[in-house]
Amino acid sequence: MQLIETVRALQERSEAERAAGRRIALVPTMGALHAGHLALLEEARRRADRVWVSIFVNPTQFDDPADLARYPRSFEADLDACRAAGAALVFAPASAEMYPDGMQTAIEVGELSWPLCGATRSGHFRAVGTIVAKLLLAAKPHVAVFGEKDFQQLAVIRRMVRDLNFDVEIVGAPIVRDADGLALSSRNRRLDAEARRQATALVQALDAAEAAASDGVRDAARLLSAVRAKIARAPRAELEYAELRDPETLRPAPAQLGGPTLLALAVHMRLADGGAERVRLIDNRVLRPALRAGGSAG
Note whether 18 and 172 are within 8 A (CB). Answer: no
State the DSSP string of the chain.
-EEE--HHHHHHHHHHHHHTT--EEEEEE-S---HHHHHHHHHHHHH-SEEEEEE---GGG-S-HHHHHHS---HHHHHHHHHHTT-SEEE---HHHHS-TT--------GGGSSTHHHHSTTHHHHHHHHHHHHHHHH--SEEEEETTSHHHHHHHHHHHHHTT-S-EEEEEPPPB-TTSPBP-GGGGG--HHHHHHTTHHHHHHHHHHHHHHTT--BHHHHHHHHHHHHHT-TTEEEEEEEEE-TTT-PBPPSB--S-EEEEEEEEEESSTT-S-EEEEEEEEEE---PPTTS---
CA-wise closest residue to 117 among 62, 41, 163: 62
* 268 tagged catalytic: no
Long-range CB contacts (< 8 A, 24+ apart) of 11-15? Answer: 11/138, 11/139, 11/140, 13/89, 14/138, 14/139, 14/140, 14/141, 15/140
Note whether 111 and 125 are within 8 A (CB). Answer: no
Residues 34, 37, 124, 142: which is the catalytic one? 37
Q: List active site positions.
A: 37
